[in-house]
Structure 1
Amino acid sequence: MSDLGKIDNIKKIWKCNLACLVLLKAEELKFHFNFSLELWQIEQGGTPLNEVLGKVFNRKTADALKRLNLFTMVQLISADGSELITWSQLKLCKKQSRRGRKPRWFIALENCLIGDRSNRKLIPEYIISDYNSLALSIALQAVSLDKRKKELVLVENKDDDRKIFKIIQKGKAKILGEHYCNTPLADPNQFEIKKCKGCSGNTAKITGKIDEEVCTSHFSWNKILGMLPRSYIKEGKRILDWDEKRISKRFKSE
């Protein structure tokens, strides 16, 4: 590869592009690549959304799908291949606000694909028998190394159980966190979170404006799956919008 810098008549824009330099050197050596057409074809899988939507598909719908980076039907089907995800789940996966009405094109998909409205199970002909590798997932943000930030994080235990913690103190190897319990609400993508009163006897007194006992635990950085979205107060409850089933990627701290 050391000879790449010796190629004559290199355009300035190519000088720092390794791929271009390799191709130029190959041409200089009279070496040619012979690729088959099949190698350039990208396998997306599933039926294109424009075919499923039929008459509902128009320019406005096409623009909306492009913004959401959606192309095929399987992207909107759960990982186990049995049900259509909800509009709220889609917006969560795309890190967008769930406010506003459900669009016409998504309602059309529900009418076309869902066989049982009570559990969103698909019509048999649309069920995917194998694992759906194109299913959408939520990518959690990495936890900051800034010790001033006290994020709400999702932590994985030894038995693959996941728990929510509010960071109290950050160390080089370990983090001290305050455990929060989560209770599902009517909306499948909403949970009420409350401070745990001591599920494992791990209690400590936190001194501040008001002294209080909280359930705490130490855990290592590599046990953190990522930072959860900010909670908010609604009707006297602290609400968290998330969908644990679609969290699939582990992030290290930045």
Structure 2
Amino acid sequence: MPPLFFERMTMWQVLKELILAIFYPHYCPACHEEVEGPGLLCEACRRSTYAPGYLELKKETVPHLDAVYRLYRYEGGVKRALHGLKYEKRRDYLDRMGEEVLHHEADLEPLFTGNPFVVALPTDPKRRKTRGYEIPPAIFGPYLKKHAMILTQALWRQKATKPQHGLSRAERRENLLGSFAFHPVKLDGTVIVIDDIATTGASLEEAARLLKEGGAEKVVGLVLASNAPMASVSNLD
């Protein structure tokens, strides 16, 4: 097992990782090579799909959303793993996703400057019950825990929605209308909303609208993956 994260692990955690590595090896969901050490992807597939940066936003379609930052393109192993988490109950990917994010701490650090509030985009209760887990907190939870940050429970789902996959921008917006509700908490400054994928930004925009009504000054989306066009400069500049 490589020394990455070793110093931060207890002896029990080290033993657990060794046992899992020996008896339950993890294979990259993109190329099926064995992954030695923490993370979802092998090093080659990580390099080929890791493309951090801000997405291009059009204020006429997402007027309340100030920026969206992605880590990966939505393709290859990341796409396959997210599909597995959503539709195949691939629980084995949960910890690996969190470890994957920890590979990129340096890129995330500027985003969290100033101790922003962090809010997870809430999952439809039926889908959460079927899966037995929520994906966004699983992806970014290890990073938040390591940096002593907690999730603020500012949003909840009050209405079931159809899956967004395959819907147009207008259909996504209509599908989400009234689906979220604001849980009264005191907000100010910047709020980061975490989610797994950004396509049109409709979900993040609806969340941003409610959060700004609740007192947030700036709302930034943070997603694991997206294929949306990239901005030439940061939306926050």
TM-score range, shorter chain: under 0.3
Bigger RCO of structures 1 and 2 (CA < 8 A, at least 6 apart):
2
Q: Which has the larger radius of gyration?
A: 1
Q: Scaled by the length of structure 2, what TM-score is found? A: 0.26
Q: Higher helix share goes to which structure?
A: 2
Q: Scaled by the length of structure 1, what TM-score is found? A: 0.24
Q: Higher strand share goes to which structure?
A: 1
